[in-house]
Amino acid sequence: MRQSQLFGKTLREDPKDEISANARLLERGGFVAKEMAGIYSFLPLGLRVLGKVANIIRDELNEKLGAREILMPALHPIENYVKTGRDKIDILFHTELASGGHLVLGQSHEEIVVPLAKRFISSYHDLPLGLYQIQTKFRNEPRAKSGLLRGREFIMKDLYSFHATEDDLEKYYEKAKDAYKNIFARLGIGDITFLTFASGGTFSRYSHEFQTITDAGEDTIYFCENCLIAVNDEIIGEQPYCAKCKAPSEKLLKKRAIEVGNIFPLKTRYADAFDLTYTDETGVLKPVIMGCYGIGLSRVMGAIVEVHHDEKGILWPETVAPFNVHLVEIPGKNKADIVKKTAEKFYEELLAKNIEVLYDDRADKTPGEKFADADLIGIPLRVVVSEKTLEKKGVEVKKRGEKEARIVSEKEMLKMLEK
């Protein structure tokens, strides 16, 4: 895409009142625009990142868990929440139908997915079943803050699994853990994201979170360096040791972290509320056993920025970068026409090879502004075409993390992009 045609200008200054790196850099880079606290618009660059995050998640859930994607509504009847006892939880947004009827906005979808699954599950033949969606969630947070980390309206993947036995849930649960590990690895935060034992709320002793270690996190975890797992601060009183090697909490590292995913064994809590049962091999009616598995896509996008940035801007992992390469044209004074023509030629060639390229063809920007924008936007590879590169019969390449640029041949540049 031509940068002259991109919607969403970069900003030189940090937005007012924002401290967190993701809020500052995503807005300055033209990825998002804040509408209200915790409510954002996604601009073209941000939407591209979000799409890549979504496709990595889809890929793992489809392939590794055989889960099936659906799309459920945001408007939920309050009656379903009365059944599960969640009608009084304070993060619900409430609204009313013109024709009469009290609705809430979905902050999670147990109250919809269980009655939905009930229409299609009757026998053990129908189990196990995994249903997920990537959809907008609404949470009436009293204090939305930290950019995309704690939103009032945000994009989430929620997966629900249905099983005949606890054993089967457990097997699926372990496979889901593996799928989650793959997802966070592919998102570029695998090496600092760890399975964390957390509270199970009212219906299960424990649940599991995936926590990404960063000082920007709102959560505190106790991390075991040997086992690469952690315990959430909220249960360290009950469980003052590593769940695996049993090392005491004093030996664990106290760290700030962002919860990027969570998985819950729901057991029969929601099945009971909606009388979701199946007939087993012997004809006996039994309650369906469930698990649920969430990942906040917009939150993950924020977490990636918290982890991968420097003072100049974002350093996107290749897998989620809005483009593979940032082609920057620096026309100069003497050979502007030839530089322009050469850059245009590269642009067409890269597109022809299906390489996603952002082409800085802007005529009204100085080289300094273009380089600052490239660092801010954070595409993994910057390729400059200028008088100098023409003379040296090559292009100037610099990976976003590197300090120094170097001249390479066109062929070598293409090789860097092919993998």
**Residue 403 carries which DSSP code?**
S
Nearest to a copy of itself of 71, 284 (CB atom) = 71
Q: Does 129 bind a copy of itself (CB under 8 A)?
A: yes
Q: Does 73 bind a copy of itself (CB under 8 A)?
A: yes
Q: Does 66 bind a copy of itself (CB under 8 A)?
A: yes
CA–CA distance, 46 with 23 (Å, rounded to integer): 12
Q: Quote the least distance from Cβ 88 to a copy of itself, whole Å.
A: 13
Report the run of H or E that residue 336 belongs to, with start and end: helix 336-352
Q: How many residues bind a copy of itself (CB under 8 A)?
A: 54
Nearest to a copy of itself of 16, 119 (CB atom) = 119
Yes or no: say if 37 and 69 are a contact pair by the CB < 8 Å rule. no
Yes or no: say if 401 and 382 are a contact pair by the CB < 8 Å rule. no
Q: Does 302 bind a copy of itself (CB under 8 A)?
A: no
**192-225 CB burial, b ≥16 within 10 A, e <16:** bbbbbbbebeeeeebbbbbbbbbebbebebbbbe
Binds a copy of itself by CB under 8 A, chosen from 54, 89, 91, 372: 91
Report the run of H or E that residue 294 belongs to, with start and end: strand 289-296
Q: Quote the least distance from Cβ 5 to a copy of itself, whole Å.
A: 7
Q: Does 68 bind a copy of itself (CB under 8 A)?
A: yes
The stretches of 74-127 forming alpha helices (DSSP H) are 78-84, 110-118
Q: Quote the least distance from Cβ 311 to a copy of itself, whole Å.
A: 25
CA–CA distance, 303 with 259 (Å, rounded to integer): 9
Q: Does 333 bind a copy of itself (CB under 8 A)?
A: no
Binds a copy of itself by CB under 8 A, chosen from 54, 82, 116, 407: 116
Binds a copy of itself by CB under 8 A, chosen from 16, 88, 143, 393: 143
**82-107 CB burial, b ≥16 within 10 A, e <16:** ebbebbeeeebeeeeeeeeeebbbbb
Q: Does 42 bind a copy of itself (CB under 8 A)?
A: yes
Q: Dump strand ranges (E) for 121-171.
A: 129-138, 153-163
Binds a copy of itself by CB under 8 A, chosen from 13, 16, 17, 98: 98
Q: At 416, list the tokens.
A: 């860097």
Question: What is the per-residue binding string for a copy of itself in 346-375, x denoting contact by CB under 8 A?
Answer: ------------------x-----------
**Residue 233 carries which DSSP code?**
G
Q: At 105, list the tokens.
A: 């906005």
Yes or no: say if 167 and 195 are a contact pair by the CB < 8 Å rule. no
One-letter-per-residue 3-state SS of 2-13: EHHHCCCCCCCC
Q: Does 71 bind a copy of itself (CB under 8 A)?
A: yes
Site for a copy of itself in 147-176 (CB under 8 A): 152-153
Nearest to a copy of itself of 41, 226 (CB atom) = 41
Question: Interface with a copy of itself by CB under 8 A: which residues?
Answer: 5-9, 33, 35-36, 39-44, 47, 50, 66, 68-75, 77, 90-91, 93-99, 101, 103, 105, 112, 116, 119-120, 125, 129, 131, 136, 138, 140-143, 152-153, 364
